[in-house]
Each structure stands twice: as structure tokens, then as C-alpha cells.
Amino acid sequence: MLRKNARARRDFLYRKAILLQNAEVSERRSKLRAALASGRPLDPNIANDKALRNDFQYDESAQDRSAQEELELDDEYQHLSGLVDPRVLITTSRDPSTRLQAFSKEIRLLLPTGIRLNRGGTILPELIKSAQSAGLSDIMLLHEHRGQPTGLTLSHLPFGPTVSFSLHNVVLRHDIPNTIRGTVSESYPFFDAVG
């Protein structure tokens, strides 16, 4: 498991280094494009870069982004977008109230590929390891205060990002008066791409 984590870290750092290198080339390309458009003399660093000048005709359609803009782009789902659905593990605190358990069931119904897990006495690091080994893509942790759901933490595995939400005035399905509470359809939604 340690080798797998180390390999994943190396891959992550390698992709970030490539991203920064591409951002640097993109910045130089934009300077070259601006100099050619305005008729100003080229910067000596750009003028002496023969590879940049030779590849410029092929790079004209590429977007110019700075290093900061490249880093802000999220490519977590880029390679698997539309091919693999995210699988979310939905769990609660160690000793949840019945209201929080009902809320976790309702959240599970919102996410067709979600899996609800009674946490029991499992500590968070073990929970994360088991979620990774099961091939889950995200983990959602629900929090409560005196039986009222107050927070939701969502983290993408293995390295994040992580986001935390606070919940206010949560109303469960069975709390809504004068409603017909039947079963909720758990059929997976099918989206057909029209093109």
C-alpha cells in the first residue's frame, strides 16, 4: 500500500510539473503573439528560442494561460469524464442519532451511485483506506449537533480537494406535513447525449 501511495504522489507531482512547464510555454507563446501583432521587437529570450518559433504555427489555436490559471484548472475528472461515474461513500459521526441516520438515508437517495455506511467505531484514517481500496471516488461525512444535521464534509480521494458545508434548518421528508410519503425511486437516471 505504501508503494501505491508513493507512486500516486509521484504521478501527482509529475503532472503538476508538466502543467507548470506548459504554462511557461503558453506565457512565452502569448508574448510572441503580442509582439507579432503589435510589430514590436521580440524579447531576446523569445527571439532565441527556435523551438517556440517553429512550433508557433501549430500552437496558434491553443489558449494562452498563465501558470496561476493552469494551476486553478481542476483536472480531477478530465480523463474519466463521462466514462466512470463517481462513487460516494456517505457516512456519519460515530454514534449518530436516529435523525442523522434518516438524513444520511435521504442523502443516499439523492446520489444514485452513493453507498451509505454505518460507521460504528471505525476511525477516519481506516475509513479512508477502506474507501480507497474499494475504489470509491469521494467520501461524504455528515455532522450533527443535538440530533440536528449541521454539517457536511465532502472530500475527493486520494488527495482532495475537500469542502465543508454548514447546514441550517434541515427538514427531512417525514417532517413535511400533509405529504404523501411513498417510496423513492432508486432507478438510475439515464441521460442521452443529443448531438
Are 92 and 104 in contact by the 8 Å Cβ rule? The answer is yes
* Three cell numbers, residue 178: 400533509
110 and 159 both lie in a single domain: yes
Are 120 and 74 in contact by the 8 Å Cβ rule? The answer is no
pLDDT at 81 over 60: no
64 and 138 both lie in a single domain: no
36 and 102 both lie in a single domain: no
Q: Please, which residues have CB within 8 angstroms of residue 17's CB and are 6 or more apart in sequence?
A: none
102 and 162 both lie in a single domain: yes
pLDDT of residue 38: 79
pTM above 0.85, yes or no: no
Q: Is residue 188 part of a domain?
A: no
117 and 171 both lie in a single domain: yes
Range of lowest pLDDT (19-28, 94-103, 158-167): 19-28
Domain enclosing residue 150, as ranges: 88-175
State the number of CA atoms in the 13 A half-sphere of 85 facing the CB: 11
Q: In the predicted model, what is the mean pLDDT of residues 80-86?
A: 62
Question: Cell 512565452 belongs to which residue?
Answer: 28
Beta bridge partners of 164: 153
pLDDT band of residue 35 (cuts 50, 70, 90) is: confident
Question: Total domain count for the chain?
Answer: 2
Q: In the predicted model, what is the mean pLDDT of residues 90-118?
A: 90
18 and 93 both lie in a single domain: no
pLDDT of residue 191: 54
pLDDT at 24 over 90: no
Q: Is residue 141 part of a domain?
A: yes
Q: In the predicted model, what is the mean pLDDT of residues 31-51?
A: 72
94 and 171 both lie in a single domain: yes
pLDDT band of residue 195 (cuts 50, 70, 90) is: very low
Q: In the predicted model, what is the mean pLDDT of residues 65-80?
A: 59
Are 147 and 153 in contact by the 8 Å Cβ rule? The answer is no
63 and 117 both lie in a single domain: no
Name the residue among 87, 111, 108, 93 with its Cα closest to residue 149.
Answer: 93
